[in-house]
A and B are shown apart, each in its own frame.
Chain A
Amino acid sequence: MATDKRELAVAALQCGTVIDHIPSEALFKCVKILGIETMPHKLTIGNNLESKRLGTKGIIKVADTFFPEATLNRIALIAPSAVVNIIRDYEVVEKRRVELPKVIKGIVKCDNPKCITNNEPMATVFEVVDGAENLIRCHYCNHTVANGKANIL
């Protein structure tokens, strides 16, 4: 079968998860948060693809894998625009946006060097600040940081 060599062929997923509309700059952080670096399944990662909404976007396709909702929502911190597609038998059976959880455990590093979380072997906890524009606050030292600038562990 002749394939146009000017275009990259990416096989459609038979079964698995596609995460689309990831801001380009957040793509590799999402890869890290989802822990897919060590997965044995077929994996496609695309970045700087054209997007009407975002300018450029990233996309992640993982075959034969369905993430728990809580795991997917962890990327909402840095990729609030991301859309999750669940594929079964080449069909999109579910499509939804990620939602930022109220409490974020163990993802964000507190950038206050004097915070207890940076000095004890313990998980960080951040809470979304009530009504504030994309701000999260360290549960321990009360230091606040803008979502987009969060330092991912």
Chain B
Amino acid sequence: MNPNSLVSIDGLTKEQILDLLQTARYFEEHPNHKILDGKVVATLFFEPSTRTRLSFETAVNRLGGRVIGFSDASTTSSSKGETLKDTIKMVSNYVDLIIMRHYLEGAARYATEVTDVPVVNAGDGANQHPSQTMLDLYSILKTQGTLENLTITMVGDLKYGRTVHSLLMAMKYFNPTFRFVACDELKMPREYVEFCRKQGIAFEEHTDFSRDVIDSSDIIYMTRVQRERFSDIMEYEKVKDLYTLRNSMLDTSKENLRILHPLPRVNEINQDVDDNPKAYYFDQARNGLYARQAIICRALGISPEKI
């Protein structure tokens, strides 16, 4: 196992997170610093994910490295019954870094255990997606100037949304106040509520996406309510529009408020919000490039500021 592998955000210390954010900031200023000359990176996408793959591959290309890989497992030996272990061991012979997305949960952890090449988890099923969390943290830092003492409101699907779970865990170092806004079916799971209690993190749970909640937030993190999560379609119809953000709801919000969303969005953020300067979700996606450049450098043990 390579110690520079990144499987899960909770494997990082506060210092490591701050280092990564500082490196991300460096890459925002120097996006084309060619420090991966001669390095080959594999992007193994056993599950399609256009956004994440393009962003990782752009990151490698801008750093001057080369990319091999696949974006569809049906064209690989895994469709012939090859185990993940064998695929990882084979690819390890060729590359300096493996970036992997897999539909099975725990696949990334297992991959790190069968190779000495660093592995970066680009999402394993509903489990972990640490590069998304890094870009969320970078977006918060960039828009607020700090990560400390912020009021963060999470809205929508808090039960299945892995991005809100990982963000919650990563924010434990920065004394946040959380608001969880969701219907009963999709409320924050008990283990994360317990996590907040144990860490002494202040939080409130709401079923109503009220003006009071919006007006006291520094960050509103919207998520998509997915129809397939409901066993009763009537329940879905009842709640699907309860958590839609409209421009008029932001009239009296704080100046520094920014709206984040991991995308893709469906109807939980009305189109009329897009032109509001507080809408940040498209810039947030661009920050993914810098965050991923930082993650790649850390995995390869390269510090760009020193080169």
Contacts and interface: CB of A to CB of B under 8 A. Distances in A.
A114 B103 contact: yes
A114 B85 contact: no
B191 A141 contact: no
Main secondary structure of the interface of B (DSSP, over half): mixed
A142 B130 CA distance: 14
A116 B126 contact: no
Interface in A104-121: 112, 114-117, 119-121
B126 A114 contact: yes
A14 B110 CA distance: 47
A141 B105 contact: yes
B83 A120 contact: yes
Given A114-B103, A115-B104, A122 B85 contact: yes
A29 interface: no
Given A114-B105, A121-B83, A122-B85, A140 B110 contact: yes
A131 B84 CA distance: 34
B304 interface: no
A138 interface: yes
Nearest to A118: B104
A139 B109 contact: yes
Contact of A115 (B84, B105, B128, B198): B105
B110 A120 contact: yes
Interface of A: 112, 114-117, 119-122, 131, 138-144
Interface of B: 83-85, 102-107, 109-110, 124-128, 191, 198
20 contacts: A112-B105, A114-B105, A114-B126, A115-B106, A116-B102, A116-B107, A116-B109, A116-B124, A120-B84, A120-B110, A131-B198, A139-B109, A140-B106, A140-B107, A140-B109, A140-B110, A141-B124, A141-B127, A142-B105, A144-B191
